[in-house]
Amino acid sequence: MDASRNLYAILGVPPEATADDIREAYRLMARRFHPDANPNEGAALQFRDIVTAYDILSDPGERLRYDEARRALRSEPTPFSLRVMPSKRVLSALAEPQVLYLLLEIMPPRQAGAAQRRTAPLNLTLVLDRSTSMRGARLDKVKIAAHNIIEQLSAQDVISIVTFSDRAEVLIPATTVTDKTSLCAAVSIMSAGGGTEIYHGLAAGIAECRRHLAPRMVNHVILLTDGRTFGDEERCLELAREAAAEGIGISAMGIGEEWNDQFLDALAAATGGTSAYIQSPKAVLQFLDERVRSLGNAFAERLQLTVAPDADVVLESAFRLQPTPQPIDVSPQPIQLGTLEKSRPITVLIQLQMPPSIKTGFRTVARLDVTGDVLWSERQQHKGISDISVEIAQNPQPEEPPMAILDALGKLTLYRMQQKAEQALNDGRVQDASRQLENLATRLLAAGHEELAQKAIIEARRVSHTHALSQEGRKSLKFQTRQLLALPMPESDKR
Amino acid sequence: MKTCPYCGFDNREGVLYCEECGHPFYSQKDAVETTQLSQDAHEGFKGRMTWGTARFEEGALLVIRIRDVPEPITIEPVRDIIIGRRDPLGGDPPDLDLSPYGAAELGVSRRHALIRRGEDTLTLVDLESTNGTFLNGQRLLPHQPRVLRDGDEVRMGRFVLNLFFK
């Protein structure tokens, strides 16, 4: 019997609950999350867990066995904790719908950083673009970056390197990092030539990563490209989803202006990875170094979030703020969140819409469910659940939203404005796009980001004249507004 | 519903930043600054904390107070009012000429900004002035109208006006 999951928490009852309590709790949960009553995707996933929990806890014999198995696990400390902050604790009873934000923090245990000095064992695959356009400074910097990574790794780690152009070649088959000299030599012989077909490279990379796939390792593929792949994007995303299901994360990095950022974002979002835009070849080093360091700081891997709103609540969007800012899709669920580092929480900002005409009193809003594999834990999958409730009142006292939410949302708003301008342009609404960019410039200026504001103004003018954004301007606005959300890495994590 | 004072977009209740233009509905600064300021430090910031009405009805009057000038200027804005300073070399004078109040020294352009009458509102537009137009401390983008509210502070270069609706 799998005793690692806290079935009592899933049903929302204390461990000493009577059979009646359990039945009543199940009835309430079914009313909230049964697919007939609740159309939300996350609710269906939650309900599946609830049925499993009820099946065991409602059977006296099964419950006894579960309790015993659970007692044996008790000695383990809580691996990670959830903290959820709503934008308002008391909502006004209104005839119209209203928006509620939740800031979710998934926190590693406080002592994790100090107790585990060693880094997490990595199973790392680099998938490197060697198409003709990479020739020169780009490829040189990529080689140096790869050398640096090899130098950083130790004998507990596994590395593989795949290069691709029109086809893929396995430069270094998955191997433990023992003979660094010959690994570096293999990287040095890379040469540029050919087109860009990401699918082949990605498929070969994932295959290499899979060879050493281990639940107690950080299994990650880093894709680096400067080009646009044609016709195989859908297949790549399919591949990414399969990889995520197996426990492989993908981070993607685009160099220069040609590559498709939406595609790389989707690739990272599907697997809990990170995507980034690199303007100069020099920045390759920094990005790869940070990525590998972040993975090495892993406390838990393969974090997944399920957001199950109550039947009348709508889940509108979610955005991962930390450890690296990344837009995430709320469908399909569970949502992949990637790596939980030892000394940095994962934070996610969730936007919900509450229904009109809610009754006064306390009510539930949503359930958040997080699972993840703790790398050094005896047992693998850990789970945390948080049920969010708010109070509804007639004319409540005005309430200042929490600083953390205001701050994060303020920056996220900038990023979203850029996205809206792009959307407007794609829909052919040129004036809207130009106005959005001007608004963005105003807000950036007000927030003290003069250089970015200038870029936004230039792009606003360009849009009204040429009905298009420049590739460079579009990407730097997008990724630099996104980067505003990033917090600096804690000093203690720097090697 | 929460109407944005900046762009007039109707947001849903609970929204913290205008979903159209990103205008913050809560001031972050107020929440961050916990240091107690001396009473003097608040001088000159009056009118920024509270928002007056944006509604400017038919027949209403606009009262313009210029800092350090005892008598306010009262006008009925039925059409566009260009604010600036008279050019000694000629050219059309602006509707509201600020040159008697030291406008040139304080960096006001000849055609600096204009106040436009909308339906039940007044908007302020910067006319690509050299030193910029600031509404309640925030710089305006050229040619982007902003809704004015009772009690707003407008700064043109270093020239400060306070606007009141009557």
Q: What is the pLDDT of residues A43-74, one digit of tens each?
A: 998 999 999 999 999 999 999 999 888 887 76
> B144: distance to nearest CA of chain A, Å?
8
**Shortest alpha-carbon distance between residue A147 and chain B (Å):** 44
| A96, A405, A443 ranked by CB distance to B13: nearest | A96
For β-strands B73-75 and B81-84, DSSP reports them as: unpaired
Is A365 buried (19+), middle (13-18) or exposed (0-12) by CB count in 10 A?
buried
Q: Rounded to whole angstroms, what are the CA distances from A310 to A25, A44, A82, A456?
A: 15, 11, 19, 39
Pairing mode of beta strands A249-255, A275-278:
parallel
pLDDT at res. B51:
58
- DSSP annotation of A14 reads -
**Residue of chain B whose Cα is closest to the Cα of A445:** B139
Q: A110-119, B77-86, B109-118: which has the minimum mean pLDDT? A: A110-119
| A457 lies within 8 A of chain B by CB | yes
8 Å CB contact between A42 and A333: yes
A241 close to A331: Cβ distance less than 8 angstroms: no
d(CA A25, CA A17): 10
Q: Which of A336, A323, A292 is nearest to A121 (CA)?
A: A292
**Angle A471-483/A450-466 helices, nearest 10 degrees?**
150
- Kindly list the distances between the CA atom of residue B152 and the CA atoms of A1, A275, B146, in Å, as whole numbers in the listed order: 68, 44, 11
Closest-CA residue of chain B to A456: B141
Averaged pLDDT, A324-337: 89
pLDDT digits (tens, 9 = 90+) for A417-457: 999 999 999 899 999 999 999 999 988 988 888 888 999 99
Amino acid letter at A125? T
Among residues A105, A84, A25, which one has the least CA distance to residue A352? Answer: A84
Torsions phi, psi for A200 (to 5 deg): -60, -45
CB contact under 8 A, A442 and B141: yes
Question: Would you call B28 and A406 a contact, using CB atoms and an 8 Å cutoff?
Answer: yes
Contacts of A314 in chain B (CB under 8 A): none
Question: What ipTM does the predicted assembly reach?
Answer: 0.81
Average pLDDT over residues B8-35: 75
- pLDDT given at position B42: 37
Instruction: Dump strand ranges (E) for A294-360.
Output: 298-309, 314-322, 326-328, 335-341, 346-354
pLDDT of residue B34: 35
- Maximum alpha-carbon separation in chain B: 54
CA distance A117 to A342: 10
**Could you give the C-alpha distances from B26 to A140, A285, B13, in angstroms and in order?**
49, 40, 13
Question: Do the Cβ atoms of A89 and A391 come closer than 8 Å?
Answer: yes
pLDDT in the model for residue B118: 82
> Which chain B residue has the Cα nearest residue A447?
B138
CA atoms within a 13 Å half-sphere pointing along the CA-CB vector of A100: 28
A120-129, A148-157, B72-81, B84-93: least confidently modelled range: B84-93
Whether A438 and chain B come into contact, CB under 8 Å, resolves to yes
Residue with tokens 């789970």: A383
First and final CA of chain B: distance in angstroms?
27
State whether A410 and B7 contact (CB < 8 Å): no
Average pLDDT over residues B94-102: 88
Side chain identity at residue A490, one-letter code = P
Q: How far is A260 from chain B (nearest CA, A)?
A: 26
Using DSSP's 3-state secondary structure scheme, residue A288 falls into helix
Rounded percentage of chain A residues whose pLDDT exceeds 70: 94
Nearest CA in chain A to B21: A439
pLDDT digits (tens, 9 = 90+) for A235-245: 999 999 999 99
Residues of chain B in Cβ contact (below 8 Å) with chain A: 1, 7, 12-17, 20-24, 26, 28, 31-32, 138-141, 144
Model's pTM, two decimal places? 0.74
**Of all helices (H) and strands (E), which one includes residue A86?**
strand A81-86
Maximal C-alpha separation, chain A: 74
- The DSSP result for chain B, as a single string, is -EE-TTT--EEPBT-SB-TTT--BSS-HHHHH--SPPPHHHHTT-TTTSS-------TT--EEEEETT-SSPEEE--SS-EEEE---TT-SPPPSEE-GGGTTTTTT--SS-EEEEE-SS-EEEEE-S-SS-EEETTEEPPBT--EE--TT-EEEETTEEEEEEE-
